[in-house]
Chain A
Amino acid sequence: MLSITNLLMQRGTWQRTYNLQLATGQIVTLQGRSGVGKSALLAAIAGLEQPVSGVMTWQGQSLLELPLEKRPVSMLFQEYNLFEHLSVWQNLQVGLVWTADTIASIQAAASQLEIKDKLQAWPSDLSGGQRQRVALLRTLLRPEPLVLLDEPFAELDNVTREKAILWVRETAQQTGKTVLLVTHQDEDVQRLADTNIVLKMSIESNNNEKNIHHP
């Protein structure tokens, strides 16, 4: 279980406090208005940003004490997920643990995500949606049990989006991964989520702190 209690994030005068819990193996979607702090929360879980205070544990172990490199987290960003100067295949090579089954897994996933013919291409030859699917493939095939996806389907058309959602769901279930996914689309929530969290801002009187709750 991922448990977050009174996690305070601060960037200059911007402040957010988070409280939430995710059961292991769940797919949880995260919604909320722009600027509410969805990406900041993912960055804190991944270890890219340091919270001011609070508690964050995974399977009972504190994540805050772990450096980013040791956290059981795999993350997909909104942009810059691929090294532009490396081919798609090289991008997958540097991002995945290479075992006997890796190539078969990549090809099966690429086939389902309709990017199999792009595996030898260069990122500059791919559309935004194709790039996002390559990155999605790599993020989910990595060994970490906790997966963070920041708007993974934003650049996909409806048909591809549906296929990608199905693949994420199947892969997460088969490998027992816990997925926390930011999306603005209600359809993604309906098709994919076991639980949906809507982040809200409430401003306490007499101070600048903004608290975030979830239902």
Chain B
Amino acid sequence: MIIAYSVLAALVLVTVVAFYGLLDLAGGDIAWALFRDEYFYSLLGFTLQQASLSALFSLAFAVPLARALYFHPEWRSQRVFLTLCLLCFVLPSLVLITGLVVLLGRSGWLTPFLGEQWNLYGLSGILIAHVFLNMPFAVRALYLQWQSIPDTSWRLARQLKLSPRQQWQVVEWPVLRGRMIVLAGFIFVMCFNSFAIVLALGGGPQSTTLEVAIYQSLKYDFNIPEALALAWVQFFIVGGVFLLLVRFGSVAWLSVDTVAAQWRPKPTYWWRVADASIYGLAWLFLLLPLLALVAGVWDAPWSWELVKLLGRPLWITLALGLFCGVTAVIIAYIVLLPVRQARLRQHYRRQGLWEWLSMHTLVAPAMVLSVGLYVFLLRRVDVDRWGMFVVAGLNTVVVVPFALQQLRPRLFQFDDQYAALVRTLKLTAWQRLQVEAPWLQSSVRAAFVLVMLLAMGDVAIFAIFGQPDWVTLPWLIYNYASSYRLAEASVAALALLLLFAGIIFAFEGRSDAQHH
């Protein structure tokens, strides 16, 4: 347990050091006067607006889609669709943005059909990108919820001759309600903190969020007091929402269990038509930006040299992902030990505190973490030499909450069922690990793949600590795109997309093999 508390303390220390780094540089100055400025309130208003709308639209599309998937287990493409959903959620923002620009940008494929007023840059582009990333996440989570409805509930509903409306009210809605609130909160947090999407598609000062404003204060104005003031606002708002999420529960979404013999009502003809239409549109929505990316590659000046240029960044990205994946999962397991202990002892406040601390990097502005740490380390370490270690370390810290979210429900379930048994059998720590390992296997794999891919997609941290000798694939895309070599950027984005798709399909294939 001492190790667990030390690891937790180290996580907190990273944030404290980052804030200290900036505060120190600013001479302890925070620009509180900013709160009297109209600019601040328009910034806050837009951040809240885009995050709320993103959460609302993601859920509004996800609910009918997840329901359609649940009621049509006969759709053979369903499994592939759910895997695509996973791919979309972890898709690096730069890859998505490249695809969206080809599709909906100024000279995009679909732009001529969207009217004179259409502009990808601004709220509309941000919302499309956020819904693309988060709706699939919500679909998987809600699909799992629907699957948790026991057969007996459906049989009883049929026996009682409940109408479809009554079925929804009595059987489905109660199962979804709690999870919907958590999901909405989670998506809100993700979009509130969104950086690359807003930076690329924001299109001007009227469509800027707090996270981007922090970046701009640091990069262009070097106004650290202003960045700190904005960071505190972001920390408190997102931290507050996140505190509620921790209180309400977690989002288990990655593993999709299919139960072959599950009984569910047979949809009517028009119901089937509506579901098939929703399903078809969803395929189109998710595939189009990816296909646009593939098509963009045709214009690329293909050469062996270009392919060779991608080789090294690809291996570096993979190595970075593997390191972060393994380390983040181990850290998540360790920091969950005190959380589980507090829960078993029914010390719920303490449990909440440990949980919040272990997941706080999800709410701390990533830009402040990176820049703060950079400023702190600059005067103490040779950042140019050790930069890649900081990239790996900081990426690990940032993705720990995602690993934690995956492991937590499974470990809590283990404790609920077996904590008393484990104690009365007087198992040693080693025996305990042997018992927990097979129980956790699928969650560990899911957590590992998720955090590995999230770390592999990083641009923000690399932007600050990365070294030219150790360029990752996302950074290469960014370099190509910012020097207007869009064809090369498309090739690199496609390589990254294929790498992600390969990893995800291999992972889902293994999960399938285990289920059957």
Chain A residues proximal to chain B, CB less than 8 Å: 46-48, 68-69, 73-75, 77, 80-81, 83-86, 94-95, 142
Contacts and interface: CB of A to CB of B under 8 A. Distances in A.
B258 interface: no
Contacts of B427: 94
B424 A74 contact: yes
Nearest to B424: A75
Contacts of A74: 424
A142 to B, nearest CB: 8
Contacts of B425: 94-95, 142
Contact of B421 (A69, A73, A77, A85): A77
Nearest to B441: A85
A86 B431 CA distance: 13
A48 B420 contact: yes
10 contacts: A48-B420, A48-B423, A68-B424, A73-B424, A75-B424, A80-B417, A84-B417, A94-B425, A94-B431, A94-B435
Contacts of B418: 80, 83
Interface in B392-425: 417-418, 420-421, 423-425
Nearest to A144: B426
Given A80-B417, A83-B418, A94 B434 contact: yes
B468 interface: no
A48 B424 contact: yes
A69 B417 contact: no
Nearest to B431: A94
Contacts of A86: 435, 438
Nearest to B438: A85
Contacts of A48: 420, 423-424
A34 B267 CA distance: 45
B478 to A, nearest CB: 44
A85 B439 contact: yes
A48 B423 CA distance: 8
A115 to B, nearest CB: 19
Contacts of A46: 424
Interface of B: 417-418, 420-421, 423-427, 431, 434-435, 438-439
B417 to A, nearest CB: 5
B439 A83 contact: yes
The 7 closest A-B pairs by CB, nearest first: A75-B424, A85-B439, A80-B417, A95-B425, A69-B426, A85-B438, A68-B423
Contacts of A94: 425, 427, 431, 434-435
A95 B435 CA distance: 11
A40 B172 CA distance: 37
Given A83-B439, A85-B439, A94-B431, A69 B423 contact: yes
Nearest to B423: A68
Contact of A83 (B420, B424, B426, B435): B435
A93 to B, nearest CB: 9
A84 B410 CA distance: 13
A12 to B, nearest CB: 12
Contacts of B435: 83, 86, 94
Contacts of A68: 423-424, 426
B426 A80 contact: no
Nearest to B437: A85
Nearest to B427: A94
Most chain B beta-carbon neighbours within 10 Å: one of A46, A81, A83: A83
A214 B423 CA distance: 29
A29 B426 CA distance: 25
Contacts of A85: 438-439
Given A85-B439, A86-B435, A80 B424 contact: no
B423 A80 contact: no
A80 B438 CA distance: 17
B452 to A, nearest CB: 24
Given A80-B418, A85-B439, A86-B438, 6 more contacts: A48-B420, A68-B426, A83-B421, A84-B417, A94-B434, A94-B435
Contacts of A77: 420-421
A85 B423 CA distance: 18
B487 to A, nearest CB: 50
A29 to B, nearest CB: 20
A109 B506 CA distance: 45
A155 B90 CA distance: 48
Nearest to B432: A94
A80 B439 contact: no
Contacts of A73: 424
Nearest to A80: B417
B61 to A, nearest CB: 36
Contacts of B434: 94
A81 B438 contact: no
A122 B4 CA distance: 33
B201 to A, nearest CB: 45
Most chain A beta-carbon neighbours within 10 Å: one of B418, B421, B423, B434: B421
A86 B440 CA distance: 12
B153 to A, nearest CB: 22
A142 B426 CA distance: 11
B320 to A, nearest CB: 32
Most chain A beta-carbon neighbours within 10 Å: one of B424, B426, B434, B438: B424
A152 B485 CA distance: 73
A29 B425 CA distance: 23
A64 to B, nearest CB: 16
B1 to A, nearest CB: 14
Contacts of B420: 48, 77, 80
A34 B425 CA distance: 27
A133 B418 CA distance: 18
Most chain A beta-carbon neighbours within 10 Å: one of B420, B425, B438: B425
A75 B421 CA distance: 8
Contacts of A84: 417
A186 to B, nearest CB: 28
A162 B424 CA distance: 27
Contacts of B423: 47-48, 68-69
A84 B413 CA distance: 12
B411 to A, nearest CB: 13
Contacts of A69: 423, 426
A48 B420 CA distance: 7
Nearest to B425: A95
Nearest to A75: B424
A67 B424 CA distance: 11
Nearest to B434: A94
B284 to A, nearest CB: 40
A100 to B, nearest CB: 20
A94 B425 CA distance: 8
Nearest to A74: B424
